[in-house]
Amino acid sequence: MKAFILLMLFCFTFSHVGAQITDVSKVKYISVIYLLGSAIPLKGAIITTGDSTIQFIDKSFLKNKNLIAPNAIQVIRSASISRIEVKRKNSAGRGALRGTLGGAAFGAIFGYGIAGKGQFFSRGELARVGTVVFTIPGAIAGTIVEANKKTKIKINGIAAVYALNRENLKKYTLTGN
């Protein structure tokens, strides 16, 4: 009987702990929250938005693809928030891929278009050369454009401004509400 009670206590303990942790593999956006009167911003992910608070997890807890402990969650009052900047996670890599594909397509069309009569290279060869030449500049341009894409929301500690922007903030949260 004692073994059964210990086993049940053990199972309830781990099921209770499992219910309190959050999966971080769903994090799509990295947020930077600037607080009023503080020079150091908070970097991490917004979990949920409340009527006058934001539940936030620091970036240091997002390093592992494991689960987050509930004591790592911070509650930030809207009255202490100066502004919030949000950007999509891994946006530089996505931008490099898009830029590479765009540069390659532009180079192929450009190379094919400049071929004319009396040239040493054929249209297909110039299209391949244009693809190779414009791939790297396209990747660099795509990385720069996507890495600098941020959504900035100014709150300045005003509850009414936070309430107006709360719906906009919801799409950047981990839970969606």
Q: How confident is the model at residue 62 (pLDDT cuts 50, 70, 90)?
A: low
- Is residue 153 within 8 Å of 32, Cβ to Cβ? no
Whether residues 103 and 128 share a domain: the answer is: yes
What digits encode the pLDDT tens for the residues 117-164?
A: 667 778 888 888 888 899 999 999 988 888 788 889 899 989 899 999
pLDDT of 20: 41
Q: Per the domain annotation, does 126 fall within a domain?
A: yes
Residue 75 has pLDDT above 50, yes or no: yes
What digits encode the pLDDT tens for the residues 41-53?
A: 999 888 889 888 9
Q: Per the domain annotation, does 4 fall within a domain?
A: no
What digits encode the pLDDT tens for the residues 1-43?
A: 544 443 444 444 443 443 344 555 677 888 899 999 888 999 9
Whether residues 138 and 57 share a domain: the answer is: no
pLDDT of 140: 92
Per the structure, the count of domains in the chain is 2
pLDDT of 1: 52
Whether residues 113 and 127 share a domain: the answer is: yes
Instruction: Provide the token pair at 77.
Output: 């009052």
- Tell me the one-letter amino acid at 86: V
pLDDT of 168: 87
Q: What is the DSSP string of 98-163?
A: HHHHHHHHHHHHHHHHH--TT-SS-HHHHHHHHHHHHHHHHHHHHHHHHHT--EEEE-TT-HHHHH
Q: How confident is the model at residue 100 (pLDDT cuts 50, 70, 90)?
A: very high
Residue-range definition of the domain harbouring residue 160 = 18-88+151-170
pLDDT of 24: 58
Whether residues 77 and 162 share a domain: the answer is: yes
pLDDT of 83: 92
**C-alpha dihedral (84, 85, 86, 90), degrees to nearest 10:** -140
pLDDT of 85: 92
Between 77 and 120, the more confident residue is 77
Whether residues 27 and 81 share a domain: the answer is: yes
Non-local (6+) Cβ contacts of 173 within 8 A are 46, 47, 48, 49
Instruction: Identify the bridge partners of residue 86 per DSSP, sorted by sequence position.
Output: 31, 151
